[in-house]
Structure 1
């Protein structure tokens, strides 16, 4: 029988690397695997429908209550693996790249690049910490590669976990700590009461190890 396994996640590299590591070691003569980049609502929909076995998302101290309520209403639950601190991702050549710490006010003159969640998405569904802070210059996109390219091309920035570039070569983007008390909760989503399969358990264990290795505080 062919092996099957699917994961839906927000636009982070750490779930891509984890997925690749798991399916590489799983092997098999026949398999059907899938990895989907989704909006937060897309992750929820995929896990609810069974299209994906697991979802990978993050919460913040500001969004956790609302996001957990939305997950519970959908019959899902969030499993926290690790906490991290928000960081500003910006080009390696950016004039602010050598700062010890940055504030959002200090970045006000630069374009803010973020992942579009759709017109009706609640604030708690945004993938960037402090996403609701008003900004004069904003650019929305829906693709991870586009976000990175736009940051470099426009000398812009986004707010991330730092793990956005932590597992890639980090040549074009660097991260600087953001001066905030907000924390990130990184983890995965399952259907309520679901028991993990062998592949799902491997993925979760590998994801936690990768997060511990690359998380920054």
Structure 2
């Protein structure tokens, strides 16, 4: 019997690594798995339609209520696995890289690189904490590789959980704590009342362990 399993997630790498670990562990002679990088609305749409079994997203303490309302209206629910603190991702050669912490005011001269959520998207769908703060210089992109390359090439920055950079970008980027009164909630989305299959439960269990391992405060 062919195994099937699909995940949709925002632009983080911890779900990619977790997905790979589960596939390797599950093995099998025949399977069809899928992993989709999406906007937040794309994750919601995939889980609602059944294209994906589980969605991986981040909320912030400022946007959680609005995002949970959106999820509930779509028949979905968010399951928090861990909390983290926002960090500024910078090139290793950036002038501010040795700061103990940074404010958004200190970063105002540098371009802010972020993941586009589409035109007129509300703040609670953005993947970055404090996405609604006005910036004089900002650049939208749609994939992880572009975001990392633009940060390095333009001496820019983004706001992240720190988990993205800690796993994926090696010596190219580093992170500095962001001085802001906001928390990040990392977890997964399912259809309301859904019972997880064995593969889905294995993914969630591994995801929780990976998030706890890499979460930074």
Query: TM-score, normalised on structure 2?
Result: 0.99
Shift in Å, 1:168? 2.4
Q: Say yes or no: does 1:94 pair with 2:90.
A: no
Q: Say yes or no: does 1:203 pair with 2:203.
A: yes
Q: Which stretches of structure 1, 4 residues or longer, exceed 6 Å deviation after superposition?
A: none
- CA shift digits 1:5-44 (9 cap, x unpaired): 0000000010000000000110000000000000000000
Q: Say yes or no: does 1:179 pair with 2:192.
A: no
Other-structure match for 1:58: 58
Alpha-carbon spacing, 1:169–1:122, altered in 2? closer, same or farther (3 Å): closer
Aligned partners of 1:3 and 1:79: how far apart in 2? 25
Residue 167 of structure 1 aligns to a residue whose secondary structure is: helix
My pick for the range that moved more, 125-134 or 163-172, is 163-172
Aligned partners of 1:27 and 1:165: how far apart in 2? 29
- CA shift digits 1:53-98 (9 cap, x unpaired): 0000010011000000000000000000000000000101111111
Aligned partners of 1:55 and 1:26: how far apart in 2? 19
Other-structure match for 1:145: 145
Consecutive unaligned residues of structure 2, counting only runs of 5 or more, are: none
Contact kept in structure 1, 2:76 and 2:191, CA below 8 Å: yes
Shift in Å, 1:123? 1.1
Other-structure match for 2:191: 191
Aligned partners of 1:195 and 1:125: how far apart in 2? 26
Q: CA RMSD in A?
A: 0.6
Contact kept in structure 1, 2:148 and 2:169, CA below 8 Å: no
Aligned partners of 1:173 and 1:19: how far apart in 2? 24
Shift in Å, 1:170? 1.9
State how many pairs are aligned: 217
Shift in Å, 1:120? 3.1
Query: TM-score, normalised on structure 1?
Result: 0.99
Aligned partners of 2:135 and 2:141: how far apart in 1? 16
Residue 56 of structure 1 aligns to a residue whose secondary structure is: strand
* 1:149-168 paired onto structure 2 within 5 Å: 149-168=149-168
Contact kept in structure 1, 2:4 and 2:31, CA below 8 Å: yes
Aligned partners of 1:82 and 1:213: how far apart in 2? 10
Aligned partners of 1:120 and 1:104: how far apart in 2? 23
Other-structure match for 2:82: 82
